[in-house]
Amino acid sequence: MKLLIVTAIKECRSEIDRIFEEHGIRVYSFTNIRGVRYDEEKGTKTNWYGREMDDYYESVMMFSFAEEDVAQQVLKAIDIFNKENENNFPSKAIIVPIESAVGFRHIKNQA
């Protein structure tokens, strides 16, 4: 069992929804986010897209618990999506291992 986390600009959310559905991920959560980065050279706060804070992009973070093979397939599908839709805002995805968990009947080693 893995935790799959995807970040994308809001305009790409429906495509990530489609990728999740295609790979059998039917239960997941999402939240609206804004990325922020402090630019030490300029002494200003900018968002992760390199713009001043007054000009930001709405984004989403989507996450789900998935079997490792499914999570890997989703990463591959997002990589293909990014290559086919080259832009300055690629969707990002990571897989995080789960050491222990409660509340999941299909995980053997729960805390």
Model confidence over 48-99: pLDDT tens digits? 555 555 456 789 999 999 999 999 999 999 999 999 998 878 999 999 999 8
- The pLDDT value recorded for residue 109 is 43
pTM, whole model, 2 decimals?
Answer: 0.78
Q: Does 41 have pLDDT greater than 80?
A: no
Strand segments (E) across 10-57: 29-33, 37-39, 44-46
> ∠ CA 57-62-68 to the nearest 5 degrees?
140
- The pLDDT value recorded for residue 103 is 81
Q: Is 43 left (phi over 0), alpha (psi -120 to 50) or beta?
A: left
Please, what are the domains in the chain?
2-34+62-97 (3.30.70.120)
For residues 34-41, average pLDDT: 63
